[in-house]
Amino acid sequence: MAYKINHMWHPSYKVTDLVATEKFFKDVFGRDSFPVEQYLPPKELAPNYPRDYAILTMIQEVLFDSIDPKKYVVEGRPTYEEVDTPHLFCLGFAAEGVEEIYKVCIANGIRSTDQANRLGSSKQPPITGFSKAPIFFTLPESTGLRYQIFPLSATGPPDPRADPGWKLPPVSDSDPLSLEFCSHHTILTSDPVKGLNFLVGILKGRIIHQGRNQLLETNSFYISLGDGVYELAVPTRAGSFAAEDIKFNAPFDTYHSVTWKVRDLSRVEEHLASKNIRTLLRNDNTIVTNPEDTIGIPWGFTDKLVPGDYRLPG
């Protein structure tokens, strides 16, 4: 059976304060969030599944999943370790042929868990705690980062992408960030082989560019997969911002940042300044925010596409 990654299901992001996170997305991105409970089945169908542990925020084609680890307890098991400061930590993909992907992973020595962190069997993916859909999370020992594979058939409202006619929204004239789409997600790694084996070898992504990221001070691979681009970045200078952030998830890979393709970089700069958000890194084409001002995430904004990325704004 053929399988494929359709789109990024969502980035996962550990927070310390869901209320503050919701306020940030509204104040800075101008986007409303909704409680995860709106996505879950009625309580009587999943009585032991938590319902207040996350908010979801739609930004262009990206659905952010902001999770409070203290509240994410599945069947009596805390799923994630808590954090002192918010940080990105997991990437999820909506896929066709989840069972086949799982079999290929097993055949290549990649093991996975369910939402309660129980190791899956060697024959079939685990069933999630809130539906009958097969969902699994890879072990970072095998894939560098924890990746989630979610069946496309299980996606639905209130995620607007569940509508077969959904298209990337055009740039809004009222958007102070002039967002077109997500340029790329950056994953820091000291050993890109595991990530490449998974994203390219198993999930059938395609390397569209390889080279030096001067701003981040990394040697990077850029992979087109589904509807997105993923940067596997190897820090090259001890003490750099990237070299320090890779320690967050050591000895495994670290989900570092999200960079947006924008129409007007000067407009972005003015808006960030109006919100008292400092710039951490910048060059002629890209601004990176200080994560201390932006809920723990060094958001990137760029007016230049990654070489080999031929996507166009909506």
Q: Kindly state the tokens that stand for 260.
A: 């947006």
- Per residue in 4-27, pLDDT (tens digit) is 999 999 999 999 999 999 999 999
CB 279 within 8 A of CB 273: no
CA 266, 270, 275, 280 dihedral sign is positive
CA 212, 88, 29, 290 dihedral sign is negative
pLDDT for the residue 261: 98
- Per residue in 248-259, pLDDT (tens digit) is 999 999 999 999
pLDDT at 164 over 90: no
Identify which has the larger pLDDT, 44 or 259: 259
Lowest-pLDDT range of 84-98, 119-133, 215-229? 119-133
Strands 112-113 and 179-188: unpaired
Per-residue pLDDT averaged across 111-126, rounded? 87
Domains located in the chain, CATH noted: 4-162 (3.10.180.10), 179-302 (3.10.180.10)
CB 198 within 8 A of CB 223: no
- Bridge partners of 254, per DSSP, are 188
Per-residue pLDDT averaged across 229-251, rounded? 97
pLDDT for the residue 130: 66
Q: What are the strands of the beta sheet with 279-282, ordered from one edge?
A: 206-213, 218-225, 228-235, 179-188, 254-262, 300-302, 286-289, 279-282
pLDDT for the residue 77: 80
pLDDT at 129 over 70: no
